[in-house]
A and B are shown apart, each in its own frame.
Chain A
Amino acid sequence: SQQGEEDPQALSIQEGENATMNCSYKTSINNLQWYRQNSGRGLVHLILIRSNEREKHSGRLRVTLDTSKKSSSLLITASRAADTASYFCALPWVASGSRLTFGEGTQLTVNP
């Protein structure tokens, strides 16, 4: 099955700094999604980027997609303590249109 691999596994930064996390995958995709999970909570959808898009913005979030390198990155600018969470990339399993696979996530800690 298709599964994204996030890198790094953990990231610790100071408030105000930018945070970048990456997702690599192996086979072709229709879209790639990023989710955030705060401790003890469910996942929250952040951004969906389609295979024909190269960059997408939402507030302080910027997602890029490079289909030739089979990778995506999520950039959080001017981070805040409230951004502390786990971040996951999610990929539809193309062979089965109704399955979404998740990587193991990047744990981001933003220190005040």
Chain B
Amino acid sequence: NAGVTQTPKFQVLKTGQSMTLQCAQDMNHEYMSWYRQDPGMGLRLIHYSVGAGITDQGEVPNGYNVSRSTTEDFPLRLLSAAPSQTSVYFCASSYGGVLDQPQHFGDGTRLSIL
């Protein structure tokens, strides 16, 4: 199994551009989520999904969209990139929810907004 795969690994954007961060998992996990990691702030939840067709907002959802059309994929869209969105983005998945299941993380996408 490949686990959780994130693409691209690195990306530089200009302010105002849009892009999609891809996340795919091959473990048939129901739960998927997106976090951003900034220095000194730990990981903050952006959006999550408990199954195909179901998404919900996390702590910092503004400026991001998600959809979950399949169990395997959970893309994160930046609608109009801003310098404040410069961060490392992590996708995670688990069987079931977070109450009692370990999360499996991808290796991240490092995004710089100029």
Provide the bound-state CA to CA distance between A82 and B12, in Å. 31
Give the total of B residues in contact with A, Cβ under 8 Å.
Answer: 28
A104 and B42 contact, CB distance less than 8 A: yes
In the assembled complex, the Cα of A45 lies from the Cα of B105 at a distance in Å of 9
In the complex the two chains form, is B102's CB within 8 Å of A45's CB? yes
Q: Are the CB atoms of A33 and B102 closer together than 8 Å?
A: yes
CB <8 Å contact, B97 and A103: no
Residues of B within 8 A of A48 (CB): 100-102
Give residues of chain B (1-55) contacting chain A, Cβ–Cβ below 8 Å.
Answer: 4, 31, 33, 35, 40-43, 45, 48, 50
CB neighbours (8 Å) of A104 from chain B are 40-42
Which positions in A face B, CB cutoff 8 Å?
Answer: 1, 3, 30-31, 33, 35, 40-45, 48, 50, 88, 90, 92, 97-105
